Amino acid sequence: MTKLSVNINKIATLRNSRGGNVPNLLKVAEDVQKFGAEGVTIHPRPDERHIRYQDAYDLVQVVNTEYNIEGNPIPRFIDLVLQIKPTQVTLVPDADDAITSNAGWDTVVHKDFLIDVIAEFKRNGIRTSIFVDPVEKMVEAAAVTGTDRVELYTEEYAKEFQRGNLNGISSYVNAAIVADKVGLGINAGHDLSLDNIRYFKEQIPNLLEVSIGHALISESLYLGLENVVNLYLNKLKYDASTPFSNFW
């Protein structure tokens, strides 16, 4: 079975744009789990432009499914993860100024560093995953680091799928076969959506988990828009000349 972990970064982005607590991040985390999501993902970045480090601590009270924390293992991030001890940590090599994650690890070049960080997380009972491009060599080298899983970076797949190129899946299928061979579990994420998720899952049956944020939150807006516009219209039906017109 493939677990769905909902990335709630975008909820924090929206909240931070006004400085208050709307939308309420903890309530959204509670709700997505109530609606069936099997995990909650956050990706705090050093500038805290969306998820704040304090959010990561606060979420501990409400995440009762799998808690996945993603990020670049700089010292502050490592400390945060070791204090919280989430279900899983996903290591992503993103630059401080990256708008979003834009590359997987070079697991060959960074092998020694990854071995050390992963050992530390695993000593603390935290499952580990490394964000990688669907490149066989990177998956093979990931296995050497001792990680439990890799997360396949799916932006390229999503782009090709949108162009109508179903062959865009082939490097992912190969990477998944290699991961299986070297004993790594397979997660996937980035730009997965209602449009492209089914084909991905069909082609990679041993997919353990997907983390989805940007599209899922956007789709929730689109799919909820009609309902909310109508709720407002109903509220506005009140007419002062017939004071009881809004009572039904």
Ligand X SMILES: CC(=O)[C@@H](O)[C@H](O)COP(=O)(O)O
Contact residues for ligand X, defined by CB under 6 A: 7, 9, 43, 50, 70, 92, 100-101, 131, 189-190, 213-214
Residue 214 as a binder of ligand LD2JLWAY (CB under 6 A): the answer is yes
Instruction: For the beta carbon of residue 177, count every other beta carbon within 10 angstroms.
Output: 14
Q: Residue 15 binds what, of ligand LD2JLWAY, ligand X, none (CB under 5 to 8 Å, by partner type)?
A: none
Catalytic residue among 43, 66, 151, 209: 43
According to DSSP, the β-strands at 39-42 and 3-7 are: parallel
Amino acid 183 reads: G
Residue 70 as a binder of ligand LD2JLWAY (CB under 6 A): the answer is yes
**Contact call for residues 13 and 42 (beta carbons, < 8 A):** no
Annotated binding site: 7, 18, 45, 50, 100, 191, 213-214
- Residue 131 CB, shortest distance to ligand LD2JLWAY, in Å, is 7
Residue 212 as a binder of ligand LD2JLWAY (CB under 6 A): the answer is yes
* CA dist., res. 1 & res. 213, Å (int): 20
Q: Residue 212 binds what, of ligand X, ligand LD2JLWAY, none (CB under 5 to 8 Å, by partner type)?
A: ligand LD2JLWAY
Q: Is the peptide bond before 23 cis (omega within 30 degrees of 0)?
A: yes
Annotated binding site for 3-amino-2-oxopropyl phosphate: 7, 18, 191, 213-214
Specify whether the backbone of 183 is left (phi greater than 0), alpha (psi in -120 to 50) or beta: left
Which residues are 130's β-sheet partners? Answer: 91, 150
Q: What SS3 state is found at 153?
A: strand
Amino acid 233 reads: L
**Contact call for residues 172 and 143 (beta carbons, < 8 A):** no
Q: Which of the residues 164 through 193 are near ligand LD2JLWAY (CB under 6 A)?
A: 189-192
Which member of 7, 33, 72, 147 binds ligand LD2JLWAY (CB under 6 A)?
7
**Contact call for residues 131 and 153 (beta carbons, < 8 A):** yes
Residue 135 as a binder of ligand LD2JLWAY (CB under 6 A): the answer is no
Residue 110 annotated to the active site: no
- Residue 214 CB, shortest distance to ligand LD2JLWAY, in Å, is 3
Q: Residue 149 binds what, of ligand X, ligand LD2JLWAY, none (CB under 5 to 8 Å, by partner type)?
A: none
